[in-house]
Amino acid sequence: MAYTSHGRHEKMMYGGIKLYAGTSCPTMAQKIADYLRINLMDRDIIEFPNENLFVKLHSSVRGQDCYVMQTTSPPVHRNLMELLILIQTLRLDSAARITAVIPYLCYARSDKKDQPRVPITARLVADMIQTAGADRYITMDLHAGQIQGFFSIPGDVLSAFSLQLDYLKSLKPNMVEPVVVTADLGFAKKGRNYAAALDVPMAFIEKRRAGNDAKAKALNLIGNVHERDVIIVDDEVDTGGSMVEAVHLLKENGARDIYISFVHPSLSANAAEKLGALPVKQFITTDTIPISKEKEAFFTGRLRILTISKLIGEVIRRANEGRSVGELFNE
């Protein structure tokens, strides 16, 4: 609803859905287009020899409801610039509304000033997306909830919780006295939600990071995992250091089969190789970030990728039709 200068409310009408995709996640973009039964819109994205990017749309979007699909995984800065340039191109072509669809939002861990003389880069990224011309945003499982407050435009922060929970419930009958474990105390609240929904106990791993080093050391296990199957839950796996330490600590404390469930498979550097070498029965993640065939091979058939394309597709449909998104989550 829009509030007019005459004091009356009137329904805002947009044109049809126009779905554009950057180069970071073409497979997911096509799945979303298939779900919506529409075609991906044609565009050219060209990188010049000096690494400058150029975007050209193949058709007019004047008065249309446009969605730009781009995950900001590595190469982060290339993908982020593609997103910003696509948004600005749509704005300059007089799109009625532009929604940035970002399954994985980069710099989400830089969400606070926790030491002197450091930036809050997540706020900067939010500002750039808005300045480029986005009217709304859609993203998945932010590292910290306060990042929503960095945006002054409305948005939908979705969660893969139900998707992963349904899959874990299908595995539970074959597990022995399962217990949910969080590899980070910062994820404890969400971990508790998994434990409650699965009706299983919970344990925690305490860890500390040394300064700005990406490597983390698991220090202490709080809870009992002896002779139990373990489900480790987290929002993102980047270098894999925390998970390696967690698995070793759990095995030292008598854990049986270990399952690792996480939303964003960043898997930077040699993380896939390190994780694949672990005594883990199954890895469960989503396609917010594409995983190359080379990385997937390290998991030797133990990697299950759950697609979020139907969820995002339904949210796009409801946003276009002006219907509630909360109804999808019984809210």
Q: Is 207 a catalytic residue?
A: yes
Indicate the SS3 state at residue 204: strand
Q: E strands within the chain? A: 2-3, 9-10, 17-21, 43-47, 53-57, 65-69, 97-102, 136-140, 155-158, 179-182, 202-209, 216-222, 230-237, 258-265, 282-286, 303-306
Tell me: cis bond preceding 75? Omega within 30 of 0 counts: yes
Sequence-distant (≥ 6) Cβ neighbours of residue 109 within 8 angstroms: 122, 143, 144
CB 184 within 8 A of CB 207: yes
Give residues with Cβ within 8 angstroms of 67, minimum separation 6.
17, 18, 19, 20, 98, 99, 101, 138, 316
CA distances from 169 to 162, 175, 202, 203, 206 (A): 10, 10, 16, 18, 26
User: Which residue in this structure is represented by tokens 């990017």?
Assistant: 53
Which residues fall within 8 angstroms of residue 99, CB to CB, at 6 or more apart? 65, 66, 67, 68, 134, 135, 136, 137, 138, 316, 319
Catalytic-labelled residue, pool 18, 31, 207, 295:
207
Give the active site residues.
207
